[in-house]
Each structure stands twice: as C-alpha cells, then as structure tokens.
Amino acid sequence: MKHETLSARPADTPHESAQRHVTGTADYTDDLALPQGALHAYLGLSSVAHGRILSMELSAVRAAPGVIDVLTAEDIPGRNDVSPIGAGDDPILARGEVHFHGQPVFAVIAETRDQARRAAVLARIEYEALPHALDPLAALESGGDLVVPGMTLRRGDAAAGLGAAPRRLDGRFTIGGQDHFYLEGQIALAIPNEEEMAVFTSTQHPTEVQHMVAHALDVPANAVVVNVRRMGGGFGGKETQMNLFCCVAAIAARKWNRAVKLRPDRDDDMIATGKRHDFVVDYSVGFDDSGRILAVTGDWYARCGFSADLSMAVTDRALFHADNAYFYPDVELRSYPLRTNTVSNTAFRGFGGPQGVIVAERIIEEIAYATGQDTLTVRRANLYQNGQPTPYHQPVEDMILPRIFDELESSCDYAARQQAVLDFNARMDGAGSPIRRGIAMTPVKFGISFTATHFNQAGALVHIYTDGSIQLNHGGCEMGQGLHTKIAQVVAEAFQVGLERIRVTKTTTEKVPNTSATAASSGTDLNGMAALDAANQIKARLVDFLCKAKDATPEEIRFIPDHIVVRDETIPFSQAVQMAYMARVQLSAAGFYATPKIHWNRAQGSGRPFYYFAYGAACAEVSVDTLTGEYVIERADVLHDVGRSLNPAIDIGQIEGGFVQGAGWLTSEELWWDDAGRLRTHAPSTYKIPLASDRPKVFNVALADWSVNREPTIRRSKAVGEPPFMLGISVFEAIGHAVASLADYRECPRLDAPATPERVLMAAERLRGGALGLRDR
Ligand code: MTE
Ligand code: HPA
Ligand code: MOS
C-alpha cells in the first residue's frame, strides 16, 4: 500500500471557520437557540477578601421580578468542589467562609438574564472579617502557607558553584500576572432530559466538566454529556475555570428540569476567574569574566490564590523553564506555590513557562551589563550544547538555536541595526531629546508534553459514510488555534481526499471519552496521531477488502487524489467505499495515541518530562519616550521552529498572536488589587491589552522551514500554540536597552514586569539619578 502526497499546498488551507468567523455565522455557545422555558442564572459574589459568613439575607433577591430560585451551597445534591486535582478546596458556592473578594456565594435563577443579574446585587451578606494576605510576599510574611508542595530541581552543587565563581550577582524580580481577555467569556448552557444532563459550553476540557457536573449532581459520568463546538479564545483560562459555571447551570437545570444558561458579564468574569500567576523571584548567578554562567540558584514565589487549581503543574513548569535555552553547570531552583486571598490562578499560555524563561533572560542581561558585552554575545555563549543536561536531568539533544540565531541575525540585519540604535541614542543625547531606542534578540526553548505524563494520550473517531463523506471527531477543542483544520488535513492526506469531503464535528464526550484538556500546545500532536491511527485502520480494511475483491497484493494498491488504484484499475474513492460497504466492511474506527518515551519523577526532580523542545527567536526594536515612559514597537523579526509545518498560514498566525500576547503581558497589561483585595482592573477601561495599533510597526515572521522534528510526531511537525508567547520577551528587553542608554549602558535597568509606561519612567528616573524629582508609588 502506497500513497502519494496530495497536490494542494497546506498553506492554501484556511482555518475551517475563517469565513464564518468574519461573517458572524460561527455559532458560539451564546448563539445556540434556547429550548422553550429556558432559565438564566447569575452569580452573587463575595464582597470581602477573607471572612466568615455570619448571615445571608436573600429575601430581596427572591422577591425581585422574574426570580425563580436562589441557590446556595445547601442546594448542591452532590459534591461542592471543582478542584481539578481533587484537592477539595474549590467550592462551587462558598459555604461558611469566603477566601477572596469576588468568590461565588449564591446563584440567582430567573426568567431572563437581566432579571437574574439585577436581583443578584440585592443580597445582604454579613461577614466577620478574617486576616488576608494578597500577594506572595505578604503570604510569606504571614507564615507561607502553600496550596500544594513546592518542587526543587537540583543538579551539581549550586552553593559551591556560586562560592567558587569569580563573579556573582543577586537580584529580585517581580513578574506580573495576566488576564486571559478571551473575546468570548465563560458560559454554560445545561439542558436536562429524563436521563441525561447535556452541557453546551466553551471549555478546553470537556471530560473534566463531565466529571465535575457528575459529582455535583451525584450521578455517574455516563449521565452527563459535554459538548464544545468552539471557543472564542481560551488561552488556558478555560482549562478549569468553566467547571464552576457548568456545575451551577447543571444544578439549577436538574432542580427545575428546565434548560439553564449562565454567562457572567466581563467585569464579573475578570473578578471571579483565575489568571496567570504573578511571581516574585530571588535569584543568584555565579559567572566568569567572559560572561559564562557557572551556577544559578533561584526561589520562585507564586501568587496562587486561595486554592490549588493547577498551581502545582504551573509552578513546576516555571522551574522547568528557568534555564530557558542556557546551560547552568550547577543549579538549584525552588518553587513556593503560596496561598493568597485572591482568585485562584490558573493556566495561561505558556503555563508558568514564561515566568521561568524571563528570569533566565534577566540573568543574561545582568551578566551582559556587568561584563560590558552585547546581550546577544552573552546569550550565544551560554546556549546549551547537545548532550548537556537540564536542571531536571533531561539532556538537550535537538538544539537548533545557533542556526536560528545566525539566520535571524542576518535576515534582520542585527549588527547594523544595533549600531544604528547606539548612534541614534548618542545623537538624541547630544540634542537633548528624551527619545531613546533599544534592540534585543531573545530565544525560546519550550518543552512539549503535559508534565503529568498520563495526560499525554488522545482518541479519535472516524466514520466514512456510504456516499464517501467522512465525519471526523477527536478529543481536542477548537479555540481559534486551527486544531480542527490541521486534524482534517491529516485525515484528508491519509485517504488522499479533498478537505471538502471531511466534516470535523463538535467535541463531545459522547464520541471520544476520557480526553485530556486541549492544552500544553499538544492538541495537534496528540489528536492528530489518534486521528491518523483511526484513518489507518479503515485504510487497512479497505486495502484488505480490495486485495480480496480484485485478487491483488497490498503493494498493488495506491491511494491517489480522490481515487484508489488497484493495479491498473482506478476506482473513485466513493465507489470503493460503496463496494466495501456492500461487502460488509466496517467503515468506522476509533483511534488512539499515547506519547512514547516520557516519564517524570517529581520527588526526585528527574526524568524526561518532555518529548521534544520547540525553539524560536525574536528581535525587537523599540523607541521609548524617557520623559513619559511611553514606547512603540518599531519592528519585530521572528524566526520560529514548528518542525515541518502542517499549515504555515495557521502557524504564522499562532506566532504573531503569541508574540503580541506575550508583549502585552510584559508592557501594558497590569493587574492591580487594592488593600481590601478588590481587583480594580476588571474591564478594558482599566486593563489594557494590546490594540491592533500596538503591534510592531514592521512585523516579519518566518518559519525555520528546514527544521524537522527528530521524533516521529504527526508529519514531523512541532507544537506551536504556546512557545511563541515567550518571544514577546524581546520587547521587554529592548525597552530595558533603551532605558539603559540613559546611564551609558553601564547598569542593568532591572525593570520589573509589566514594564508599564509608569515603571519605564521610574526606571529612567533612577538611571538619571532622580533628575525629575519623581517618586515611586
Ligand atoms: N490560539 C487562539 N487563537 N486561541 C486560543 O485560545 N490558546 C493557546 C494556543 N493558541 C489559544 C491559541 C494555548 S494556551 C494553547 S495550550 C494552545 O493554543 C492549545 O491548542 P493546541 O494544543 O491545539 O495548540
Ligand atoms: N500544561 C498545560 N496544561 C496542563 C498541564 C501542562 O503541563 N498539566 C496539566 N494541565
Ligand atoms: Mo494552554 S495554558 O496549556 O491552555
């Protein structure tokens, strides 16, 4: 059996819903037609950061127009917990105590959403205030309670290495969090029938929602069906956060035997759902006069919020990426997942990785300024060489960053532009202008696989109908990243048929069970292989049947575009399918895949957590007004490794989006809680994501088209969803470079993240020696 590659270039394949997205005909959960008698739920949120509930006066809520019911923790038939790790610390509705400002305490059920929303604010809840710790440092001071045990990664003797190093630097780095700001917010629609609860929602993890709803209703998992056609963006914010909304809708739906929809408004969504973890990191680095790193120690203090959620895996991944692309000969890294009286932080693109990578880049910058070298020289000098071990004892074997650096340096004309930046700054200095430029090139090396090994599995279900049309289902969810398009391409190529023959249906727990979250960038790697497995099973049956029917050998059968060739006879694909059906051949198959080779022992801090690494580099140039702190990204050049691309157009879109989202995290996106624990940045008026006009003025994105995954992944491609996020760090370092010019590049500006205009201004002021008389808040 042979097959020839389909002639259509994958780049010609647009996103499966591209037209529907832009014409407004793509159905999101909120667009689904509601069954007759559908009700609407709205959540009532706590108004203190930590307190004991003394009394709940809900009669005004109950009496409000249109209100059918008010649910509290007492109304939950089963388990009142949505902890994804079974920690039991994540109540659906708070009972007895609240642990953060904005925690759901009750749910109003009404005839309309507007009525439910207006009624929710009529509650009078009395609390006995309890002490609260809001940020990592406050949490440390008040005893350092951890939501899950921290991790240590250790290789060699870091203390001895630091002691013996000719030079040493110590620093503290504060790294901000980030709101997901998905376009479509959290949403759940529960539709009950006599024996089942159907949930339509926008989760990245239908299987987890299925289990959470089953536990809350006290029914087995087989009585709950969870369906996801698409999300309007997830970015990790819908890996676990949808559980609570789905449970509330399902509990109300079961109680009233009517469909119930729950959709918080944007402010409540931002207040009541978890975000990227912010960290305070204390680091020490020992190095030699040439700038080579000899030893690193670091303590990562994370604001986890009030419960565990995914904080163990997130803080672990921060440590896994604390080396970024650099070899640390002696190293000891520790994480402290601290409990705070804030919303429970969760997955966000990169999943803690970015908060590790940026510390490695800070260390590089410190060394470059201390030794008076160009930052790129120091970066290059410290890159892993193949065979060198990571702090978790997995050796790096596929290092391609030297080539990526070489090609990007020449394509973006780094050397000449760097000189031009230095010249520009000298001229501006002479002319008394506050404008400065900065340029930086930073790499990323990102580990691909869920670090919890058992999540690295997937299933798929492929049906061929007798008209030759194909229905494809797999365990992954579409959130805009193009997953369904890529998996359809895989199956189309396997059968050598056009994409128009293939329909990828909504993700549903009815078709593929026991799925993992669509997360860790592994959606295509896992589900693509499962879908290929299913397609190959059906192909093998078709070949077997045709061998018998035509007295041929498997070698004499070829799949060519839209046909199957048996010796010198060319049979249209649909006709071959019809013949197979008549001969009673099964035309449906369930496929499965489990990533090979990976294993991880957390207690020992050792193993092979990642199947492979994805690489990339970006060069950003910025201009900064050092009198206002404002900046513009003048130009960004990216060269990124996606192995052999399944779909260059989609991959480039992921890289552009990741870069801009990463730059937003480190520039304008600032989360700010007041002393009472109230999130004061809970709407676009106060929380600034990048605008279209904030993107780099010149933006060149290219794929390292020579790269091939050395592991046999789906078509030798590499995961692309998260790694490019960390390329946004180049913008942060370029801003630092511009600011450093104020003190003739003698001092590392030690900017904290996000580098808001306010922070940039204060960093500039420090380097100018307080010339403007400004004081930090
Ligand atoms: N791209 C779009 N357009 N929307 C998203 O929500 N999520 C990101 C990334 N790219 C996201 C996205 C995150 S956090 C992950 S883990 C991956 O997509 C998940 O999809 P994949 O595994 O299919 O790449
Ligand atoms: N990445 C993303 N999501 C996850 C992971 C991970 O490593 N582990 C559990 N959920
Ligand atoms: Mo992505 S943070 O793994 O959903």
Give residue ranges with CB within 6 A of ligand 2: 239, 310, 313, 317, 347, 351, 450-452, 455, 517, 519-520
* Same fold across 38-130+186-263 and 457-594: no
The third-level CATH classification (topology) of the domain covering 38-130+186-263 is Aldehyde Oxidoreductase; domain 3 (3.90.1170)
Average the pLDDT over 28-36 and give the result.
Answer: 98
Q: Look at residue 694 and give its three-state secondary structure.
A: helix
d(CA 328, CA 8): 46
Tens of pLDDT, residues 103-140? 999 999 999 999 999 999 999 999 999 999 999 999 99
At 4, the pLDDT band (50, 70, 90 cuts) reads very low
Sequence-ordered list of residues with C-beta below 8 angstroms from that of 570, at least 6 positions apart, any chain: 560, 563, 564
Q: What is the atom index within ligand 3 of the atom nearest the CA of 351?
A: 2
d(CA 767, CA 340): 34
Alpha-carbon torsion, ordered 515, 219, 195, 506, to 10 deg: -20
Residue 750 backbone class (left: φ over 0; alpha: ψ -120 to 50; beta: rest): left
Sequence-ordered list of residues with C-beta below 8 angstroms from that of 93, at least 6 positions apart, any chain: 71, 72, 73, 76, 80, 104, 105, 106, 107, 248
Residue 43: HSE in the Cβ half-sphere, 13 Å Cα cutoff: 31
Task: Give me the sheet containing 557-560, strands edge to edge.
Answer: 2-3, 557-560, 563-566, 569-572
Residue 744 backbone class (left: φ over 0; alpha: ψ -120 to 50; beta: rest): left
d(CA 253, CA 170): 56
Does the pLDDT at position 63 exceed 70? yes
Residue nearest to atom 7 of ligand 2 (CA): 450
Ligand nearest to the CA of 485: 1
Does the pLDDT at position 6 exceed 80? no
Task: Measure the CA angle with vertex 232, ends 231 and 235; round to 5°.
Answer: 80
Q: Please give the backbone phi and psi of residue 619, each rounded to the nearest 5 degrees, phi first.
A: -120, 120
Contact by Cβ (8 Å): 627, 774: no
Sequence-ordered list of residues with C-beta below 8 angstroms from that of 393, at least 6 positions apart, any chain: 155, 605, 606, 607
The residues pairing with 591 across neighbouring beta strands, listed in sequence order, are 460
Q: Look at residue 78 and give its three-state secondary structure.
A: coil
Q: Look at residue 374 and give its three-state secondary structure.
A: coil
pTM of this prediction exceeds 0.95? yes
Per the listing, tokens 């990243």 go with 481
731 lines ligand 1 (CB under 6 A): no
DSSP letters, 668-693, are T----B-TTS-BS--STTTS-PPPGG
Does the pLDDT at position 611 exceed 60? yes
Q: Which amino acid appears at position 541 of this protein?
A: R
Ligand nearest to the CA of 516: 2
522 lines ligand 1 (CB under 6 A): yes
pLDDT over 70 percentage in the chain = 98
pLDDT averaged over the chain? 97
d(CA 292, CA 384): 12
Q: Look at residue 310 and give its three-state secondary structure.
A: coil
The third-level CATH classification (topology) of the domain covering 457-594 is Aldehyde Oxidoreductase; domain 4 (3.30.365)
Q: What is the atom index within ligand 1 of the atom nearest the CA of 521?
A: 22
DSSP secondary structure code for residue 23 in this structure? H
Average the pLDDT over 326-332 and give the result.
Answer: 98
Q: Which amino acid appears at position 154 of this protein?
A: R
Q: How many angstroms is it from 103 CA to the middle of ligand 3?
A: 23
For a pocket test of ligand 3, which of 178, 182, 349, 355 has the largest count of ligand atoms closer than 8 A to its C-beta? 349
Q: How many angstroms is it from 485 CA to the middle of ligand 3?
A: 19
At 287, the pLDDT band (50, 70, 90 cuts) reads very high
| Strand residues in 243-325 grouped as ranges (E) | 260-262, 279-287, 293-305
Tens of pLDDT, residues 469-498? 999 999 999 999 999 999 999 999 999 999
Per-residue pLDDT, 576 = 98
Q: What is the atom index within ligand 2 of the atom nearest the CA of 316?
A: 7
At 777, the pLDDT band (50, 70, 90 cuts) reads low
Contact by Cβ (8 Å): 405, 710: no
| Strand residues in 229-355 grouped as ranges (E) | 260-262, 279-287, 293-305, 330-339
How many CB atoms are closer than 10 A to CB 388? 15
DSSP secondary structure code for residue 318 in this structure? H
717 lines ligand 1 (CB under 6 A): no
Alpha-carbon torsion, ordered 622, 178, 627, 619, to 10 deg: -10
Tens of pLDDT, residues 231-247? 999 999 999 999 999 99
Q: Please give the backbone phi and psi of residue 30, each rounded to the nearest 5 degrees, phi first.
A: -70, -15
Element (H, E) at 61: helix 59-63
Domain ranges in the chain are 38-130+186-263, 278-450+602-768, 457-594
d(CA 666, CA 654): 18
Give helix then strand counts, H and E, for the chain.
Answer: 19, 30
Q: How many angstroms is it from 239 CA to the middle of ligand 3?
A: 7
At 324, the pLDDT band (50, 70, 90 cuts) reads very high
Q: Which of 177, 181, 190 is nearest to 269 (CA)?
A: 181
Tens of pLDDT, residues 157-209? 999 999 999 999 999 999 999 999 999 999 999 999 999 999 999 999 999 99
- For the domain spanning 278-450+602-768, the CATH number is 3.30.365.10
111 part of the active site: no
Contact by Cβ (8 Å): 286, 167: yes
Q: What is the atom index within ligand 3 of the atom nearest the CA of 204?
A: 4
The tokens for 310 are 């995914």
Q: What is the atom index within ligand 1 of the atom nearest the CA of 234?
A: 6
Ligand nearest to the CA of 651: 1
Give residue ranges with CB within 6 A of ligand 3: 204, 236, 239, 347-349, 351, 519-520, 722
From the list 722, 733, 758, 765, the catalytic residue is 722
Q: How many angstroms is it from 94 CA to the middle of ligand 2?
A: 26
For a pocket test of ligand 2, which of 314, 392, 451 has the largest count of ligand atoms closer than 8 A to its C-beta? 451
Residue nearest to atom 5 of ligand 2 (CA): 450
DSSP secondary structure code for residue 721 in this structure? S
Q: How many angstroms is it from 614 CA to the middle of ligand 2?
A: 16
662 lines ligand 1 (CB under 6 A): no
Does the pLDDT at position 465 exceed 60? yes
How many CB atoms are closer than 10 A to CB 402? 13
Ligand nearest to the CA of 238: 3
